[in-house]
Amino acid sequence: PMVALTFDDGPHAVYTDQILDILEEHGAVATFFEVARNLPKAPEAVRRAADMGCEIGSHSYRHANLGKMDQAAQQADQAAADALFQEVLGTTPALLRPPYGSMNKTLKTTSGRSIVTWSIDTEDWRSKDADKVVTGVENAGNLDGQVILLHSIYESTVAATEVLVPWLLEQGYQLVTVSELIQLRFGDQVEPNRTYNYDYFRFQVPPLPAETAPAAA
């Protein structure tokens, strides 16, 4: 069973490294969807994440609503973002998570990226309460194949991550990147101009071989 933790809106000059400390301690990885204009605030943290085997995706240049843009505006946003990712990482992200999960047909078919949303929304930005975030995930049922949405810009999310990472491992889940989840758990390919959304992660998880299925609670 596999789970992908994802962290949006960073990098943060303090909290990104604290999240990486937790992941590193437990031999785990995650996917970070970074807002490009934040990259200069914590470039070393982003490079550290990549060096640890975490995945770096784009969360647009400035957290704008891409679903309300025409193609020219979307391409301009991506180009500005790519320039900063190239400067910090030497590469540009293959994954795009549109802010607010907002997208239109143009973005889906012309971005040249794999668009990834999520299947479990912790609403950590709303509560800023670590206990609520942890309880929400623990009560979400079977997490196999799921993509959990968190944000790396809140101290409360760091505190929640500190509890969730060991808890998920204790439950028998492997913590993987989104691309690893798609390839290894779904047996699928990460392809450009394709959307991996709630319905995909919720309803298309292949059954586990019987001998590796987690025991019933």
Catalytic residue positions, numbered: 8, 151
Distance CA 68, CA 49 (A): 31
- Record the tokens describing residue 201, joined without a space: 């992660």
Q: What is the DSSP string of 108-165?
A: HHHS-SEEE--SEE--HHHH--HHHHHHHHHTS---TTEEEEEETT-HHHHHHHHHHH
Helix H or strand E encompassing 194: strand 194-196
Closest CA to 85 of 29, 194, 154, 11: 11
Asked if residues 122 and 148 have their Cβ atoms less than 8 Å apart, the reply is yes
Cα-trace Rg, the chain: 16
